[in-house]
A and B are shown apart, each in its own frame.
Chain A
C-alpha cells in the first residue's frame, strides 16, 4: 500500500497529461467537419421574413414569405477519393429559429467534396411519432396528422416535408394567406431525393433554396390552390415537379 505517495501521484498526473497530448496531437486521429449554412433566396436576394417583402412569380402572383420550415434526410457526404459517408440524423431548418440555420457535422474522415440529400422523409422514415424527442420542437412543428383510418386513409401520420407560409395578393387591396405544406398523402411520399451536388473540397458550404422556384416551373397559381393543400393531390404533384430544381450548393468563400 505505498501507491498513493506524493511523488507517485505527480508522476501519474504527468503521464496522464502527456498521454492526453499525444492522443490529441496524433495526426492520424485528425477529424474534419462540415458546416452547412442554409440560405433562402428569391431571385438571388436573401429573403426577408415578414409580410412586407413582395415577390413576383411566373403565375403573376405577388406574395410574401413569413416563415419556412423543412427537413433534409438521407444525407450522404462524398469525399475526393470517391468514398462516402451516410449520416443517420436528419436536419431540420426553421426560419423562426436561427439556431437551425447553421448545422455542423463532425468527425468526418476527410474534407467533403459532395453532398446528397432528400427533401422530407422517404416513406420508410416518415413514421408517426418517430421523432418525438428531436430537438428544436421538431415533432410539434412538423407533425402530419394521422387520422387512424377515419378519413378514408388520406392522412397516415408522419411529418411534413416542408412548410412555406405567407400572404399573397389577389389585387392591390385584397390579400390572403397561403400555406404551402408538402407531405405524404394517398400512399405517395412526395419527398425529393436530389442528385449529388459536387464542390471543391471544403469544411464549409451553403445550401441555397430559391423560394420562387416553388411556383414557377410548372406554374403553380396561389389563387387557385390557395391555403389548404395538404390533401390536394394536384397541388402536391405540381409542387413535387417544382421542387426538383430549388436547391443549389456552394462552398463558402
Chain B
C-alpha cells in the first residue's frame, strides 16, 4: 500500500513539473516559489457595497503591481505610443481634461473619457454600460481602432513576452510566464479595483473629522432634497446609482447611448450616471464633454433640461426649472467641491511605475 501512495505522490510531482512554467521558460525561476500576497480593499466607514471582485480574480499585491505596469505602458498599443493612462490620467481622477482623447495615430475618440473611481463597486462599465465587468471592459480599448488598435491578442502577447520585466511580473502575479490574454485582463482589472476614493472632505465630515462650512451644508441640503434632487441618480456613497438615465441634455440624440446595448426604446439617449466624486478634477463633463465647467452643469439642471420621449421622470423640473438663486448655485457647487479627494489624485500607489 505504501508503494501505491508514493507512486501517486511521485507522479503528481512529475505532472506538476511537466505542466508548470518551468517547461516553457527557463527565466522563470521565481515561479517555483510562486507565492502571491493576497490583499483586500480597505474603505472603513464608507457606505460602499461589497466589491464585485470575481472569485477567480482575487486581488494580490503582485497582480495589482503587474496591472499598474500594464495600465501605464504603451506596450499595449499597436504602435507603442498610447497607454490606458494616456486617456485616464490620475491628476484628472483617471479621466481626461479634453473633450475627446487621442488614441493611436492621433485619432480622436467619440466619447469623453470617464473617470475610474471606485469601479470595484460599479456594476456596468462605459457610458452605455456595454461592458459588464472590469475584466471585460479592459479588452475593449485594446482592440478599439481609435484607442489601442490591436488586431488580435497574439500581437499584444508577443510584445509583452519580449520583455524580461513582464516575464518576471507575470510569474510573480500568476505563477506562469506562459502569458495569455486572461492574465492581462485580470491584472489590469486588479489594479483598477484598487482605485478607491474615500477620503474627500465630505467623507471626513461623515466620519466626524471636519465640519462643513454653512455654504457647503446648504449645498448638501439642495443636493439631497428635492430642491435640487441630485441624490436620486447620484446617491451619497458612490455618487452614482449604477443606472442609465436620459438627463435631458438633448431633445434629439446623436449618440443613442444605452439603447445601443438594450434596443429598448425607453433607453434612447440614456447614459450611465457618472460618479460625482472628484468632479472638480474631471472637466469637461457629460458623455460628450460638452460642458467645460461645473457652473455650466448646474445651469443645465437649473434650466430643467430638454424634453423628449425618453427623458427620465426624475428630471422632474423639465419645463419648470429648479429656479435656483445665484446663492443656491454657489452653495451647490461648494458642496460638489467637498467630493474632491486630493489623496486619491496624489496617491503614489496609483501613479506611473516607470
A143 in contact with B313 (CB, 8 Å): no
Interface segment, one of B57-65, B87-95, B235-243:
B235-243
B235 in contact with A140 (CB, 8 Å): yes
Given A140-B241, A143-B231, A230-B225: A133 and B50 within 8 A (CB)? yes
Of B47, B238, B242, B313, which contacts A179 at CB under 8 A?
B313
Which residues of chain B from 305 to 330 have a CB within 8 Å of any chain A CB? 309, 313-320
**Set of chain A residues within 8 Å of B221, measured between Cβ atoms:** 147, 150-151
A176 in contact with B320 (CB, 8 Å): yes
Shortest Cβ gap from A141 to chain B (Å): 6
Q: Mark each residue of chain B from 228 to 257: 1 if its CB lies under 8 Å from any CB of chain A, else 0.
A: 010100011110111100000000000000
Given A145-B231, A176-B320: A67 and B123 within 8 A (CB)? no
Of A2, A151, A167, which contacts B1 at CB under 8 A?
A2
Given A139-B49, A141-B241, A145-B236: A165 and B313 within 8 A (CB)? yes
Q: Mark each residue of chain B from 28 to 68: 1 if its CB lies under 8 Å from any CB of chain A, else 0.
A: 00000000000000000001111000000000000000000
Given A2-B1, A177-B315, A177-B318: A147 and B226 within 8 A (CB)? no
A66 in contact with B313 (CB, 8 Å): yes
B47 in contact with A231 (CB, 8 Å): no
Q: Mark each residue of chain A from 1 to 24: 1 if its CB lies under 8 Å from any CB of chain B, else 0.
A: 110000000000000000000000
**Set of chain B residues within 8 Å of A177, measured between Cβ atoms:** 313-316, 318
B225 in contact with A147 (CB, 8 Å): yes
Q: Mark each residue of chain B from 208 to 231: 1 if its CB lies under 8 Å from any CB of chain A, else 0.
A: 000000000100110011110101
B49 in contact with A132 (CB, 8 Å): yes
Secondary structure at the A interface, as helix, strand, loop or mixed, is loop
Q: In whole angstroms, how far apart are the Cα atoms of A228 and B316 in the complex?
A: 8
**Set of chain B residues within 8 Å of A129, measured between Cβ atoms:** 47, 237
Q: In whole angstroms, how far apart are the Cα atoms of A20 and B240 in the complex?
A: 48
**Set of chain A residues within 8 Å of B236, measured between Cβ atoms:** 143, 145-146
| B146 interface residue per 8 A CB criterion | no
Q: Mark each residue of chain A from 115 to 151: 1 if its CB lies under 8 Å from any CB of chain B, else 0.
A: 0000000000000010011000101110101111011
| B266 interface residue per 8 A CB criterion | yes
**Set of chain A residues within 8 Å of B235, measured between Cβ atoms:** 140, 143, 145
**Set of chain B residues within 8 Å of A109, measured between Cβ atoms:** none
Residue of A nearest to B244 (CB): A96
| A166 interface residue per 8 A CB criterion | yes
**Set of chain A residues within 8 Å of B47, measured between Cβ atoms:** 129, 132
Q: In whole angstroms, how far apart are the Cα atoms of A98 and B50 in the complex?
A: 23
A147 in contact with B224 (CB, 8 Å): yes
Given A165-B313, A227-B226: A150 and B220 within 8 A (CB)? yes
Which residues of chain A from 169 to 220 have a CB within 8 Å of any chain B CB? 174, 176-179
| A78 interface residue per 8 A CB criterion | no
Of B231, B238, B316, which contacts A178 at CB under 8 A?
B316
B226 in contact with A230 (CB, 8 Å): yes
B266 in contact with A50 (CB, 8 Å): yes
**Set of chain A residues within 8 Å of B240, measured between Cβ atoms:** 140
B319 in contact with A231 (CB, 8 Å): no
| A58 interface residue per 8 A CB criterion | no
Q: In whole angstroms, how far apart are the Cα atoms of A231 and B226 in the complex?
A: 8
| A51 interface residue per 8 A CB criterion | yes
A165 in contact with B314 (CB, 8 Å): yes
**Set of chain B residues within 8 Å of A148, measured between Cβ atoms:** 206
User: Could you pull out 14 A-B pairs where Cβ atoms are within 8 angstroms?
Assistant: A2-B1, A132-B48, A132-B49, A133-B50, A140-B238, A140-B242, A140-B243, A145-B225, A146-B236, A147-B220, A151-B221, A151-B224, A178-B313, A179-B314
Q: Across chains A and B, which 10 residue pairs bring their CB atoms closest together, nearest first?
A: A228-B226, A227-B316, A165-B313, A140-B241, A177-B316, A145-B224, A1-B1, A177-B313, A129-B47, A66-B313
Beyond A66-B266, A139-B237, A145-B231, 15 additional contacts (C-beta under 8 Å) are A1-B2, A129-B47, A132-B47, A137-B242, A140-B237, A140-B238, A140-B241, A165-B313, A176-B319, A176-B320, A179-B226, A227-B317, A228-B226, A229-B226, A230-B226
